[in-house]
Amino acid sequence: MTFYYFWVTQGILLATRAAAIAEIAWRALRDYRGIWALGWRLLCGVALLLLVHAAVDARGNSAWIATFLVAAERDLELAVVGVLVLLLAICRYYSIRLEPVQRMVAFGMGFYSALQVFNNSVLQVWLPGYFQVWNDIRMVSFQVALVMWIVALWRPLPVVTPAPALLPQAVYDELSPQMNYRLRVLNQRLLEILRP
């Protein structure tokens, strides 16, 4: 009974972490409907592929629940690292501002996920002799991520975001139209491609 309880709670944890990553991506890209339209489709497609891959890994194994969830977790962790790196690159390239809390939560999840990809890859090969070490690495990496999240949430969240400091009007007039045009073109292309 304890075995099944543990693995069921691991499944619930995987689902909630996937939802947290999707929310971070949504909050960052929600103002750009075309980019978000592509983003949520990619996230759903990746989730489906990961579940199929985990099911293929678990097929024929006597402990199929444990094998399925370890493979699903490893794949989800790899997807988390990829999604977060891509999201941060898009935000940096297009100067999309991530709130400090979102950025720290994303870094914490990315750190935890990167260690878990390695950890679960080793666990799948050497499960019996590696379980205690796997558990220790998992706990320490989670505690480091938890410290990152605590630092992000240490101060109360601001009720109203202050207005950003603007550049001089001449700089804005020169650079902003070029950057906005590129983002609008990408957004429009994605809307045309993804229109049903």
Do residues 122 and 97 lie in contact, with contact meaning Cβ atoms separated by under 8 Å?
A: no
pLDDT greater than 70 at residue 27: yes
pLDDT higher than 60, residue 89: yes
Q: How does residue 147 score in pLDDT terms, banded at 50, 70 and 90? A: confident
Other CB atoms within a 10 A radius of the CB of residue 29 amount to 21
User: How many CA atoms does the CB half-sphere of 164 hold within 13 Å?
Assistant: 7
Listed by start position, the domains of the chain span 2-154, 165-196
pLDDT averaged over the chain? 76
Report the range out of 93-102, 124-133, 160-169 with the highest average pLDDT: 93-102
Residue type, 180: N
Q: What is the full DSSP assignment across 94-137? A: TTPPPPHHHHHHHHHHHHHHHHHHHHHHHHHHSHHHHHHHHHHH
Mean pLDDT over residues 111-120, rounded? 79
Looking at the chain, the whole-number percentage of residues with pLDDT higher than 90 is 0
- Predicted TM-score (pTM) of the model is 0.61
Q: What share of the chain is helix, strand, coil (3-state, %, to 5)?
A: 85, 0, 15
Res 160 pLDDT > 60: no
- Listed in order, strand segments (DSSP E) in the chain are none
User: What's the pLDDT score for residue 61?
Assistant: 67
Q: Which of 47-61, 86-100, 154-168 has the lowest mean pLDDT?
A: 154-168
